[in-house]
Amino acid sequence: MKKHNYSAGPCILPQEVFEKSAQAILNFNNSDLSILEISHRSKDFVAVMDEARALVLELLGLEGKGYQALFLAGGASLEFLMVPYNLMKIDGKAAYLDTGTWANNAIKEAKSFGEIVVVASSKEQNYNHIPKGYSIPADASYFHCTSNNTIFGTQMKSFPKTNVPVVCDMSSDIFSRVIDFSKFDLIYAGAQKNMGPAGTTLVVVKEEILAKSGRNIPSMLDYEKHIKAESMYNTPPVFPVYASLLTLQWLKNLGGIAAIEKINNAKADLLYTEIDRNPLFKGASAVEDRSVMNATFLLNDENHAPIFDKMWKEAGISGLPGHRSVGGYRASMYNALPLESVQVLVDVMKKLEEVVSKENVETV
Ligand SMILES: *Cc1c(COP(=O)(O)O)cnc(C)c1O
């Protein structure tokens, strides 16, 4: 039986994506060739890349608005430096919101390119909330934020209004909720959190913000070169792009982002309601900033961990332990995780409460 997969990344994908991907490895489009052994310049693969890029813009509501979608390699982590390389003016500065480990890594890379203004940080509180009420310097080349903090389980529910270009790392919540994506000038996301397998990174960029830094950018790091080459400047990550396309098609058939958002909210409501109700558990992050994608929670009494761990494993759940910097548990409820899987977890939590209260009666 398939596990209830709460992995934070690489993550669960729709079963039909696994099946169609497997088929394409054996025989792609009835070509009697595997997708793994054909030219990326072949008609069949160019069609995959074109459709994937177009479908990204369609699902995000960005068609005809001056944006380009790219499928690059190097992970979201490479974007930490591609962003400043392409956008930070020489002798310029950039503004960053520090909401967690990934935001911090982005800041670290950007420091090589110019002055970094950290507009606010929740580091002192171990990133348990999203800072608010900060201001962004008007002379910054751009403002960078992380929409969902995968490790700490917090999520930005609103985004600041500013005249400087807004860059957002949406690795762990892209395509999960309706946002006005046209408010962003550059969005990037490692595929492996909510869109596909590891190996490709989606970049959605408004073309008009490029070519303003005055920098000489190495070709592989230059968004303009990738746009000009239609995301095939060199051999692209063929298979991750194909599997991502299948996931995007699945999402479109389901009714797009608005439809999945309802399901995602239902899953998060179900789990957070139990975390708040069950006296054995507590949430790890500020209630108003709780992530719909990654729910972080703790046992009030660590002594219950061995029995709880045994119970959820026996229930067929996988990938629940929290990141070492938070501890406890993290339930990652990406798009493809079914509501039934959350019900299984909630039932285990209720069962634990029963077992513990029985034990308490016996020891009295
Ligand atoms: C996982 C993650 C990253 C890093 O992604 P890689 O593709 O492994 O480089 C960056 N940002 C966020 C928000 C993430 O969740």
Q: What is the pTM of this model?
A: 0.98
Neighbours of 47 (CB within 10 A): 12
Burial (CB < 10 A; 0-12, 13-18, 19+), residue 120, is middle
Q: Say if CB 204 and CB 69 are below 8 A apart.
A: yes
The count of residues in the chain is 364
9 lines ligand 1 (CB under 6 A): yes
pLDDT of residue 144: 98
**Closest ligand 1 atom, residue 80 Cα:** 10
Nearest CA to ligand 1 atom 7: 75
- How far, in Å, is the centroid of ligand 1 from the Cα of 102? 7
Rounded Cα distance, 48 and 28, in Å:
11
pLDDT of residue 362: 76
Q: Report residue 361's pLDDT band, with 50, 70 and 90 as the boundaries.
A: confident
172 lines ligand 1 (CB under 6 A): yes
Residue among 171, 193, 291, 325 to mutate when testing ligand 1 (max atoms within 8 A of CB): 171
- How far, in Å, is the centroid of ligand 1 from the Cα of 7? 14
109 lines ligand 1 (CB under 6 A): no
- How far, in Å, is the centroid of ligand 1 from the Cα of 356? 38
Rounded Cα distance, 143 and 328, in Å:
32
Q: What does residue 93 show for φ and ψ, rounded to 5 degrees?
A: -135, 160
- List beta partners, residue 190: 201
171 lines ligand 1 (CB under 6 A): yes
Structure tokens at 39: 């030219």
Rounded Cα distance, 9 and 118, in Å:
27
Neighbours of 343 (CB within 10 A): 15
- What average pLDDT does this structure show over 289-309? 98
Q: What is the 3-state secondary structure (H, E, C) of the chain?
A: CCCEECCCCCCCCCHHHHHHHHHHHHCHHHCCCCHHHCCCCCHHHHHHHHHHHHHHHHHHCCCCCCEEEEEECCHHHHHHHHHHHHHCCCCCEEEEEECCHHHHHHHHHHCCCCEEEEEEECHHHCCCCCCCCCCCCCCCCCEEEECEECCCCEECCCCCCCCCCEEEECCCCCCCCCCCHHHCCEEEEEHHHCCCCCCCEEEEEEHHHCCCCCCCCCHHHCHHHHHHCCCCCCCCCHHHHHHHHHHHHHHHHHCHHHHHHHHHHHHHHHHHHHHHHCCCEEECCCHHHECCCEEEEEECCHHHHHHHHHHHHHCCEECCECCCCCCCEEEECCCCCCHHHHHHHHHHHHHHHHHHHHHHHHHC
Cα–Cα separations (whole angstroms), residue 26 to 30, 40, 236, 238: 9, 17, 20, 15
Comparison of pLDDT for 363 and 175, the residue scoring more: 175
Q: Say if CB 145 and CB 186 are below 8 A apart.
A: no
Q: Report residue 257's pLDDT band, with 50, 70 and 90 as the boundaries.
A: very high
Cα–Cα separations (whole angstroms), residue 242 to 12, 29, 81, 235, 267: 16, 12, 26, 13, 28
- How far, in Å, is the centroid of ligand 1 from the Cα of 284? 21
| In the predicted structure, residue 363 carries a pLDDT above the cut 90 | no
76 lines ligand 1 (CB under 6 A): yes
Nearest CA to ligand 1 atom 13: 171
10 lines ligand 1 (CB under 6 A): no
Amino acid of residue 21: S
pLDDT of residue 1: 85
Nearest CA to ligand 1 atom 8: 75
13-17, 21-25, 360-364: which range is least confident on average? 360-364
Q: Say if CB 164 and CB 94 are below 8 A apart.
A: no
pLDDT of residue 75: 97
Structure tokens at 27: 């025989």
Active site residues: 102, 169, 193
pLDDT of residue 3: 97
pLDDT of residue 364: 65
